[in-house]
Amino acid sequence: MAIGHLFSGINWLAVIVASVAAFGLGGLWYSKALFGNRWMQEVGLSEQALANTNMKPVFAGAFLLQFIAATTLAKFLGTDANWLVGLHAGLLIGFCWVATAYGITYLFEQRSLRLFMINAGYFVVLFAMAGTIIGAWP
């Protein structure tokens, strides 16, 4: 299979918009206004540790990984999806693949239910939103 065929049928503008929206959701989700303080407490990060971190590579890496996920979601949805198909697929991916993967890992790592709910919840909302955006795009 040629690499061009692998990426055919992808609406790149929808992928970019979904990636930017997901990145924005992460900024809000992990902000102090929502779950940032609890998340920092659960993972053992302090304000000082975050202040001493060069966030440019973190943000660049996060955006790149989100772009890859949105691209794969667009390919998974195909060209005939609509917003409802995208929403359903995103919810299923978020709940049944990502959240369960986090759950298995967190059980063995003996992490808290609170951290699971914060991180898995983010990805459920993220994939539901990204699927809706990609599916709705003409």
| DSSP per position, 47-59 | HHHHHTS-HHHHH
Residue ranges of the domains in the chain? 9-136
Tens digits of residue pLDDT in 70-87: 999 999 999 999 999 999
Which residue intervals of the chain are DSSP H helices?
Answer: 3-6, 12-29, 36-43, 47-51, 55-77, 83-92, 100-109, 113-136
Q: Name the DSSP letter for residue 44.
A: T
Q: What per-residue confidence (pLDDT) applies to 38?
A: 97
How large a percentage of the chain has pLDDT more than 90? Answer: 91
Quote the pTM value.
0.92
